[in-house]
């Protein structure tokens, strides 16, 4: 439904009756009742036949015939609206008393234009006086006008939301809306006053726009076990104004933090280490603590920051094939929730498949004897075992196990490999106390060593093929694949032996930063990056681990 700015939109014609409304002196001013629906408060007036009251005038030649009105302020912000006819150029002037101080004066619209005078800081219940007259030196052909006094209505909480003492930070309270078509509401401002020391007051504009619902978690200082006086007021488009706060409503939060637990959708399910589980959300929670109980040992772990999601690879000592009783706890403003519902999960009793990472090291290719190859990652793998079976001649299978969890293998660590021969390569991982199966086979050929000790890394994104880097220098580096000059999906392959956070920054060729992100990469890892709707062209991608900085050229 289209909203109407009421002070500008009533244009259906003036309601003139031919009579002369209004008086020539302040003392006998005509009463205007302040309304919230302009249509309900229109008064008809004319300066035709009027005389000057003797009150000095802020606009025009002075001594113009004037008409007087009075109104009692119903709110601290009020509006006087005068809609003239013909060539009448109205001036609207407001005083705090007859013969008193001028509060405001307006003459901005010109002949025939509607004047809207916004008054602020009025005292509700006080009477104010309004003078209307023509700004020009020559009397208008028509001195007729409509006049109305209006104010922004008060709003209040729903009665059923008041005097409740069991709210949580997940709760919602609601304001009763203003009368229909009264003002163009742009939002709501809420006021919360603590009823216990230190008796702070907080005023918060709802992020919910014109929706009168307010989620208590939008008040960040909110605390469990405390009570608040709550009131609300309107924000309106007319003059970018605010109304007065409505009646106070008392609410209270329950004594303890709302309980949380493993979400029901994860209960009694089977999981791998790479999987994520979640707790029921608790508004304003600054952290979530988890416990995993195998009926012998209880393991505790904290989620990242205030995230209610937990990747199972973060849980120390988690074992495959084991059933765990899972509990979750939330901390809000320093207080932790009691234990909620305990729920069960079961870890799968198998290790996920791995294998040679073929998108980086395609099968059927030749790799120098002193280069690296890489396996597909298995989350929290304790070890990777590689098996090389010679397909060029008879030779016993060659095995190599990395028990440090790294999935990189340099071929010359296997001195029995024969340069020039081809090998079927398969890999299996050890994880969570179990040993996985060998992967599908990938056949590669072992080539002669290149000059110096080197590591083959993937395409650098510039279409120049693989990069060759000295192994001794590969402490921090990255390369890019998945970027063929037409797509917007990048895959960054990162070596970060310092195991700290990595900052990525994408610049255009003018040096302008267009995108950035921060990722935690431990050892070796991949970062997937969607560049969105960036224009095609050449960009520079810079990565730093705080010690070293690497820059790559990209073509999008």
- β-pair type (343-347, 366-368): unpaired
Block means of pLDDT (10 residues each) for the chain, 556 residues, are: 34 40 83 80 86 92 93 93 92 95 93 92 95 92 90 93 96 88 85 97 94 95 97 88 93 97 95 92 96 93 91 89 95 95 94 90 93 89 93 95 86 94 96 89 93 41 32 58 54 77 84 86 77 79 85 74
Residue for token digits 């009793």? 349
Residues 6+ apart with CB under 8 A from 447: 366, 367, 368, 369, 419, 420
Q: What is the DSSP letter of 53?
A: -
pLDDT of residue 270: 94
| pTM for the model | 0.66
CA-based nearest residue to 438, from 362, 384, 359? 384
On whether the CB atoms of residues 496 and 527 are closer than 8 A, the answer is: no
Q: Give the separation between CA 419 and CA 417, rounded to whole angstroms.
A: 6
CA-based nearest residue to 378, from 403, 353, 350, 402? 353
- Is residue 471 classed as helix, strand or coil in its secondary structure? helix
User: How many angstroms from the chain centroid is the CA of residue 415?
Assistant: 55
Residue for token digits 């309004």? 130
Superfamily of domain 366-450: Immunoglobulins (2.60.40.10)
pLDDT of residue 529: 82
532 torsion bin: left (phi>0), alpha (psi -120 to 50), beta (else): left
pLDDT of residue 484: 39
Which CATH fold would you assign to the domain 6-151?
Answer: Jelly Rolls (2.60.120)
- The reply to whether 6-151 and 458-555 are identical in fold is no
Map out the domains of the chain as residue ranges.
Answer: 6-151, 159-253, 264-347, 366-450, 458-555
> What is the four-CA torsion angle of 53, 54, 60, 66, rounded to 10 degrees?
0
pLDDT of residue 475: 65
On whether the CB atoms of residues 200 and 244 are closer than 8 A, the answer is: no
Superfamily of domain 159-253: Immunoglobulins (2.60.40.10)
Residues 458-555, CATH architecture = Sandwich (2.60)
Classify 264-347 by CATH class.
Answer: mainly beta
On whether the CB atoms of residues 59 and 135 are closer than 8 A, the answer is: yes
Q: Give the separation between CA 364 and CA 282, rounded to whole angstroms.
A: 53
pLDDT of residue 537: 77
pLDDT of residue 512: 83
- Between the two ends of the chain, the Cα-to-Cα distance in Å is 43
Kindly give the residue spans of alpha helices, DSSP state H, lying in 120-274. none
Question: Helix/strand/coil (H, E, C) string of 298-322?
Answer: EEEEECCCCCCEEEHHHCCCCCCCC
Q: Give the separation between CA 207 and CA 203, rounded to whole angstroms.
A: 12
Q: What are the DSSP calls for 247-313, one per residue?
A: --EEEEE-SSPPPB-B-GGGTT-EE-TT-EEEBPP-TTEEEEEEEEE-SS-EEEEE-STT-SEEEGG
pLDDT of residue 21: 57
């Amino acid at each position: 439904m289209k909203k109407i700015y009421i002070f500008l939109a009533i244009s259906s014609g003036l309601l003139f009756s031919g009579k002369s409304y209004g008086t020539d002196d302040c003392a006998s001013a005509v009463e205007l009742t302040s309304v919230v629906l302009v249509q309900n408060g229109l008064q008809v007036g004319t300066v035709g036949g009027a005389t000057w009251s003797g009150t000095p005038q802020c606009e025009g030649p002075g001594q113009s015939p004037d008409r007087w009105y009075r109104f009692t302020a119903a709110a601290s912000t009020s509006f006087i609206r005068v809609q003239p006819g013909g060539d009448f150029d109205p001036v609207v002037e407001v005083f705090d008393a007859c013969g008193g101080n001028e509060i405001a004066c307006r003459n901005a619209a010109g002949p025939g234009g509607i004047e809207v005078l916004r008054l602020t800081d009025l005292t509700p219940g006080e009477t104010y006086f309004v003078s209307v007259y023509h700004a020009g030196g020559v009397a208008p052909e028509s001195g007729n006008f409509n006049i109305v006094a209006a104010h922004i209505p008060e709003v209040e909480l729903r009665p059923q939301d008041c005097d409740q003492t069991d709210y949580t930070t997940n709760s919602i309270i609601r304001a009763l809306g203003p009368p229909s078509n009264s003002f163009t509401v742009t939002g709501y401002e809420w006021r919360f006053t603590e009823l216990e020391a230190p008796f702070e007051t907080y005023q918060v504009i709802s992020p919910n726009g014109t929706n009168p619902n307010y989620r208590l978690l939008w008040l960040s200082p909110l605390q469990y076990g405390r009570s608040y006086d709550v009131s609300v007021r309107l924000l309106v488009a007319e003059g970018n104004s605010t109304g007065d706060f409505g009646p106070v409503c008392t609410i209270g939060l329950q004594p303890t933090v709302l309980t949380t637990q493993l979400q029901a959708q994860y209960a009694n399910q089977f999981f791998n280490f790479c999987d994520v589980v979640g707790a029921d959300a608790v508004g304003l929670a600054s952290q979530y603590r988890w416990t995993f109980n195998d009926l012998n040992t209880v393991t505790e772990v904290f989620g990242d920051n205030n995230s209610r999601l937990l990747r199972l690879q973060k849980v120390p000592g988690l074992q495959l094939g084991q059933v765990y009783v899972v509990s979750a706890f939330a901390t809000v403003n320093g207080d932790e929730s009691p234990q909620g519902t305990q729920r069960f999960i079961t870890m799968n009793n198998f290790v996920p498949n791995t294998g040679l990472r073929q998108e980086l090291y395609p099968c059927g290719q030749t790799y120098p004897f002193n280069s690296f190859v890489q396996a597909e990652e298995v989350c929290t793998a304790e070890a990777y075992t590689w098996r090389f079976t010679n397909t060029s001649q008879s030779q016993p299978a060659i095995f190599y196990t990395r028990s440090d969890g790294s999935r990189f293998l340099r071929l010359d660590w296997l001195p029995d490999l024969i340069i020039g021969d081809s090998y079927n390569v398969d890999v299996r991982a050890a994880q969570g106390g179990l040993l996985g199966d060998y992967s599908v086979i990938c056949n590669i050929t072992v080539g002669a060593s290149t000059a110096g000790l080197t590591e083959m890394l993937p395409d650098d994104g510039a279409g120049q093929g693989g990069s060759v880097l000295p192994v001794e220098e590969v402490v921090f580096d990255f390369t890019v694949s998945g970027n063929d000059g037409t797509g917007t999906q990048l895959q960054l392959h990162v070596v970060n032996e310092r195991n700290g956070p990595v900052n990525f920054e994408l610049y255009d060729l003018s040096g302008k930063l267009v995108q950035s992100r921060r990722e935690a990469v431990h050892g070796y890892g991949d970062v997937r990056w969607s560049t969105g709707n960036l224009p095609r062209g050449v960009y520079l991608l810079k990565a730093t681990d705080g010690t070293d900085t690497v820059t790559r050229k990209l073509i999008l």
